[in-house]
Structure 1
Amino acid sequence: MLKIAKNRISYVAVLGAVLFMTIQVIATLNLPSLTSDIVNNGVAKGDIGYIWKVGLEMAGFSLISILAAVCNVFLAARTSQKLGQNLRSDVYRKVINFSKDEYDQIETSSLITRTTNDVVQIQNVAIIMLRMMLMAPIMLIGASFLAYTKDHQLTTIFLVVLPIMIIFVGLLLYFSVPLFRAMQTKTDKINRIFREGLTGVRVIRAFRQDQFEQDRFEDANRDYTDNAIKVNTIVALAFPVMTLIMSGTNVAIVWFGAKLIGAQSMQVGNLIAFMSYAMQILMSFMMLSMVFVFIPRAQASAKRIQTVLALKSTMKQPEHPVVLDPKATQHDLKFDHVEYRYRQAELPALSDIDFEAHSGQTVAIIGGTGSGKTTLVSLIPRFYDVDKGEIELDGHNINDFSMKDLRDQVSFVPQKATLFTGTIRDNMKYGNPDATDDQIWHALEIARAKDFVEEDPAGLDLQVEQGGDNFSGGQKQRLAIARSLVKQAAVYVFDDSFSALDFKTDADLRAALRADQHIQQSITVIVAQRIATVADADLILVLDNGKLVGKGTHDELRANNKVYQEIIHSQLREEDDK
């Protein structure tokens, strides 16, 4: 908890909260003594003037206590919310810079829980600590001392009461803490199942697994609910038991206090003050017990967040990065015997990948499912780092560039077309904020998306719903392609980005790419499943089980590469192959 809070909270605000809490407690502790004075010296003697005088003092201390409490609550709330804000920002900043290796280590659903629910737990405990954890020990010590000064004989009652409370609180912590810790893991499970259900709703319906998924969610939900009921039932028992203990303490104080008053060993006012201090002592002890109940859950949340923050990225930034010339018109891309292995995997996903490409060339990558095509192109913008070999851009190892400079030179279209909420213009400017409307329309025309955008009266101001759900799969792919073309880059990577396009649109789009002046100065890398998409590429790479089993033109590979021939025969009719 302290490690998480370090450098994320204002120490001035914390000191202010401590100061105002101390003032509040001191003012509150004075009230029973003043009550005792009114009863002993005012009421007993019938001195109205003294009653008014001490009454005004009580009103003053009450006002001071209220103002100090308001200031303490304000500072505590501000500090806890600021801590939550900084934690969310730090976690998001850390996660957004993760490589895919780090994403593979922690589930997305768990990352969401850690950024929301876990942060809330820490916020709640932060405000509890600045309120109750400060108030309880100060009031406990102060009230105990003042109670002893009123009558040291009655304080022996606490020798019986406090051990009982300690035993009860110990049992409370013993049974509740493990359940509180388990709640975070169970929250992760609910989020994971719920997220899978939302993202895979079409598959669920297509295979008629609605009831199965509902049952799966119901099991996780019931498990979480049962755990929450148990822990909240245990915590709920604290209040009636504490009330019973406090009521019993009051009875004992009145019983023995009455005897002392009867023996003229104690004044009535002192008994009233002692009862007030006794309640303050027991309430302080109860507040401490509640703090100890909530701290373990927050501690578990803090560890989960710290795990994310402490996760070391495999992506190393160079101390003295090489700077690419943004005005360069000639580019080279080289894979020099590259090998990559996924973490915890037994075999390499890619091995001995070796090829070169130059400006104006199109490199196509084809192969069976799981052959490593997406993994290969993911190495270019350093989504993963190679284990062996080198990848060079313009004669320099890509590891020698800063991540920003490298990715400024690579425009990437992933397999799944992703659009963001906003307008088409906002989405088109995602990679190039300075793009003009003319540049956007030009990119839309190349991507064969201009027609359906123009048809809408809003044009570039057409709203894009979450995930682009108001567009078809083909339209989303074309918009994603257009977005990549708006960005001026040295390498354009299309990772199976033409799969939702019909053959004619696919052919027209590729022809428009070859004719574009800027693309002619860049390197185009296309991952595809269809022979028709790769046939006119300058260099075709054939992958099989992560190995480069062939490279060359369409005619060369068709003549002498067995894997390429098998792909052709699986897609084209025999007469089309002649």
Structure 2
Amino acid sequence: MLKIAKGRISYWAVLGAVLFMIVQVVSNLYLPNLTSDIVNNGVAKGDINYIWKVGFEMAGFSLLSVAAAICNVFLAARTSQQWGKNLRKDVYKKVIGFSNDEFEQIETSSLITRTTNDVVQIQNVAIIMLRMMLMAPIMLIGASFLAYSKNQRLTMIFIVVIPIMLVFVGLLLRSVGPLFQAMQTKTDKINQVFREGLTGVRVIRAFRQDQREQDRFEDANVDYTNNAIKVNTRMSLALPVMTVIMGGTSVAIIWFGANLIGNQAMQVGNLIAFMTYAMQILMSFMMLSMVFIFIPRAQASAKRIQAVFALNSTIEEAKQPAKLPDTNKHELSFKNVDYRYRDAELLALKGIDFQATSGQTVAIIGGTGSGKSTLINLIPRFYDIENGEISLDGININQLSLKDLRNAVSLVPQKATLFTGTLRDNLLYGNDKASDDDLWHALDIAKATDFVKEDPAGLDMHVEQGGGNFSGGQRQRLAIARALVKQAAVYIFDDSFSALDFKTDSELRAALKQDEHIQQSITVIVGQKISTVADADVILVLDNGKLVGKGTHEELKNTNKVYQEIINSQLRGENLPNE
């Protein structure tokens, strides 16, 4: 836990919590001594003035103890919450910077658990450590010394009691430690099943698998519950066992102390003080046992969070990044590019080679799994290539800062993702300085103006999570509009017209070609439909990760076998529009 605490907590607040805790403990330890004085020198002698004097002194120390406790709790809570806040911020920042390779190593459900539940476990233990873990050893040492000063013979009782407590706490720790650690993994499982059920609810309903998914969740839920019951059942033994030990200790102290008093070897006040110190000693052991029980769970959480921080992104920033030239003429080049997914034996892309310049539209087509989306993910460096070179405006993209590179690229992904808020917020996502005219212009090109104007709120219309209040086609058009608002050198449309009808698809692509800014940029389109790619300046045909064809529609339909097969499979011999 020390690794993830460094730089994320205020050391002054920790020091303050320690100092206030010392004041609280010292005050608590001094009170039994004052009680002893009242009994021995005030009550026994009938000295009322002495009783009042020491009584006021006790009240003062009690108030000091309360004030110190309040300050300690405040600083402990503030420190733990600050630690949790910084942990969540840093985990989120780290995850946002992951490449696609890192996302594939840790499941989304586990990342959510680590950012929420695991952080909470660490926060809870932070408070316990700044309270109990500090208080217990100080009180244990102080109370032991003061108890010994009251009567050396009675302290022999602890030679029997403390080993019994140590054995019990050790057995309890050994029993519940692994169960606490297992709870985090089982929490991951619940989150995973629950998340899959929510995101895949339409598929579940379509295949009438409601009961199956409920059973999956029930299994994960019951597994977590059974584990939690085991933990709490075993933990519930702690209080009664400790109560029995403390009760037995009190009986033994009174029994032997009464004999000592009867033999005039001990004063009554000293016996009362000794009993108080004995309870403080036992309570210290109990607090330490609680700390050592909860620390393993927090340690497991800390390891899971540290595993996120330890993941090094495969996408490294350029040490001395180059700057893209300020020009309206752009060039995108792939030179003999190879790419392999992590731990894969075969190359996903092999020997990809093509160039595109401003005003050109490059279309990519091929069968499922041919590497179309993989290819376009290489342009903004979501993955790094194995061999070859990708350059933008004559500069290797590895020599550009990720910020500059991704500012130069505007991407519409396969899945149209919208964020909760207003439509304006979503459209400004790539260019927060765009005017309303720019937004309406982008919507017009994306053929989304009509349904946006139908809503009285217009650009301020509400967008639900994931764009759930729009149809698939509407989400795609809004995602396209968002990409067009951004002033980029390269526009990438990853199968972004799949939910559009032929008419809207055709009108949208025609509007793209007529836009002045698009004419100065490079457009890359991944398509499944021949009609989507037919009017591109260059069509790249992929098959099993290899570039098996490159040319215009007219050239490829007459010379490329793979392209001909795609045409025949889609159109069954019918002519393409405008053919």
The bucket for the TM-score relative to the shorter chain is over 0.9
Alignment of structure 1 residues 14-413 onto 2, 5 Å: 14-325=14-325, 327-413=326-412
Report what 1:566 is aligned to: 565
> Structure 2: any 5+ residue segments left out of the alignment?
none
Q: Distance in 1 between matches of 2:433 and 2:574?
A: 50
Once the two structures are superposed, residues 91-139 of structure 1 have per-residue CA deviations (whole angstroms, 9 ceiling, x without a partner) of 0110000000110111100100000011011111111000000000000
Report what 2:523 is aligned to: 524
Any idea what SS the aligned residue of 1:497 has? coil
Q: Distance in 1 between matches of 2:58 and 2:166?
A: 33
Equivalent position amino acid for 1:173 in 2: L
Equivalent position amino acid for 2:167 in 1: I
Equivalent position amino acid for 2:105 in 1: Q
Kept after mapping to 1: 8 A contact 2:324/2:395:
no
Once the two structures are superposed, residues 372-425 of structure 1 have per-residue CA deviations (whole angstroms, 9 ceiling, x without a partner) of 111100000000010111101001100110000000000000000011111111
Cα drift, residue 545 of structure 1? 1.0
Report what 1:486 is aligned to: 485
Cα drift, residue 576 of structure 1? 2.3
Report what 2:504 is aligned to: 505
Any idea what SS the aligned residue of 2:236 has? helix
Any idea what SS the aligned residue of 1:170 has? helix
Once the two structures are superposed, residues 524-568 of structure 1 have per-residue CA deviations (whole angstroms, 9 ceiling, x without a partner) of 000010000000000001111111111111011100111111110
Q: Distance in 2 between matches of 1:221 and 1:117?
A: 16
Q: Give the TM-score taking structure 2 as reference length.
A: 0.99
Cα drift, residue 433 of structure 1? 0.5
Deviates more, 1:568-577 or 1:129-138: 568-577
Q: Give the TM-score taking structure 1 as reference length.
A: 0.99
Any idea what SS the aligned residue of 1:105 has? coil
Cα drift, residue 6 of structure 1? 1.1
Once the two structures are superposed, residues 156-190 of structure 1 have per-residue CA deviations (whole angstroms, 9 ceiling, x without a partner) of 00000000000000000000000001111111111
Equivalent position amino acid for 1:218 in 2: E
Q: Distance in 2 between matches of 1:204 and 1:545?
A: 32
Equivalent position amino acid for 1:529 in 2: Q
Q: Distance in 2 between matches of 1:533 and 1:574?
A: 17
Equivalent position amino acid for 1:420 in 2: F
Cα drift, residue 573 of structure 1? 2.9
Cα drift, residue 236 of structure 1? 1.2
Any idea what SS the aligned residue of 1:475 has? helix
Q: Distance in 2 between matches of 1:349 and 1:186?
A: 35
Q: Distance in 1 between matches of 2:269 and 2:498?
A: 88
Question: In the alignment, is residue 432 of structure 1 matched against residue 431 of structure 2?
Answer: yes
Equivalent position amino acid for 2:498 in 1: S
Report what 1:533 is aligned to: 532
Q: Distance in 1 between matches of 2:101 and 2:91?
A: 17
Question: In the alignment, is residue 465 of structure 1 matched against residue 438 of structure 2?
Answer: no
Equivalent position amino acid for 1:86 in 2: N
Question: In the alignment, is residue 8 of structure 1 matched against residue 8 of structure 2?
Answer: yes
Q: Distance in 1 between matches of 2:460 and 2:181?
A: 48
Any idea what SS the aligned residue of 2:237 has? helix
Q: Distance in 1 between matches of 2:217 and 2:19?
A: 48
Equivalent position amino acid for 1:34 in 2: L
Once the two structures are superposed, residues 16-55 of structure 1 have per-residue CA deviations (whole angstroms, 9 ceiling, x without a partner) of 0000000000000011111111111111111111111100
Any idea what SS the aligned residue of 1:46 has? coil
Once the two structures are superposed, residues 279-318 of structure 1 have per-residue CA deviations (whole angstroms, 9 ceiling, x without a partner) of 0000000000000000011111101100101111111111
Report what 1:548 is aligned to: 547
Cα drift, residue 574 of structure 1? 1.8
Q: Distance in 2 between matches of 1:245 and 1:172?
A: 15
Q: Distance in 2 between matches of 1:495 and 1:141?
A: 68
Any idea what SS the aligned residue of 2:355 has? strand
Q: Distance in 1 between matches of 2:541 and 2:209?
A: 38
Equivalent position amino acid for 1:314 in 2: T
Equivalent position amino acid for 1:486 in 2: V
Any idea what SS the aligned residue of 2:75 has? helix
Q: Distance in 2 between matches of 1:468 and 1:313?
A: 30
Cα drift, residue 575 of structure 1? 3.6
Any idea what SS the aligned residue of 1:80 has? helix
Q: Distance in 2 between matches of 1:320 and 1:416?
A: 35
Any idea what SS the aligned residue of 2:104 has? helix
Q: Distance in 1 between matches of 2:333 and 2:242?
A: 73
Once the two structures are superposed, residues 183-222 of structure 1 have per-residue CA deviations (whole angstroms, 9 ceiling, x without a partner) of 1111111111111111111111111111111111111111
Q: Distance in 1 between matches of 2:124 and 2:514?
A: 60
Q: Distance in 1 between matches of 2:223 and 2:457?
A: 49
Q: Distance in 2 between matches of 1:344 and 1:201?
A: 32
Equivalent position amino acid for 1:464 in 2: V
Q: Distance in 1 between matches of 2:166 and 2:455?
A: 72
Cα drift, residue 235 of structure 1? 1.1
Equivalent position amino acid for 2:270 in 1: N
- Find runs of 4+ consecutive structure 1 residues off by over 6 angstroms: none
Q: Distance in 2 between matches of 1:535 and 1:322?
A: 36
Any idea what SS the aligned residue of 1:7 has? coil
Any idea what SS the aligned residue of 1:9 has? coil
Q: Distance in 1 between matches of 2:264 and 2:521?
A: 102
Cα drift, residue 346 of structure 1? 1.5
Report what 1:450 is aligned to: 449
Q: Distance in 2 between matches of 1:15 and 1:434?
A: 46
Equivalent position amino acid for 2:43 in 1: V
> Structure 1: any 5+ residue segments left out of the alignment?
none
Count of paired positions = 577
Any idea what SS the aligned residue of 2:214 has? helix
Equivalent position amino acid for 2:359 in 1: G
RMSD: 0.8
Kept after mapping to 1: 8 A contact 2:146/2:277:
yes
Cα drift, residue 328 of structure 1? 1.1
* 1:493–1:575 CA distance, 2 compared to 1 (3 A): closer
Any idea what SS the aligned residue of 1:202 has? helix
Once the two structures are superposed, residues 342-382 of structure 1 have per-residue CA deviations (whole angstroms, 9 ceiling, x without a partner) of 10111111111111111000000011111111110000000
Cα drift, residue 330 of structure 1? 0.5
Equivalent position amino acid for 1:315 in 2: I
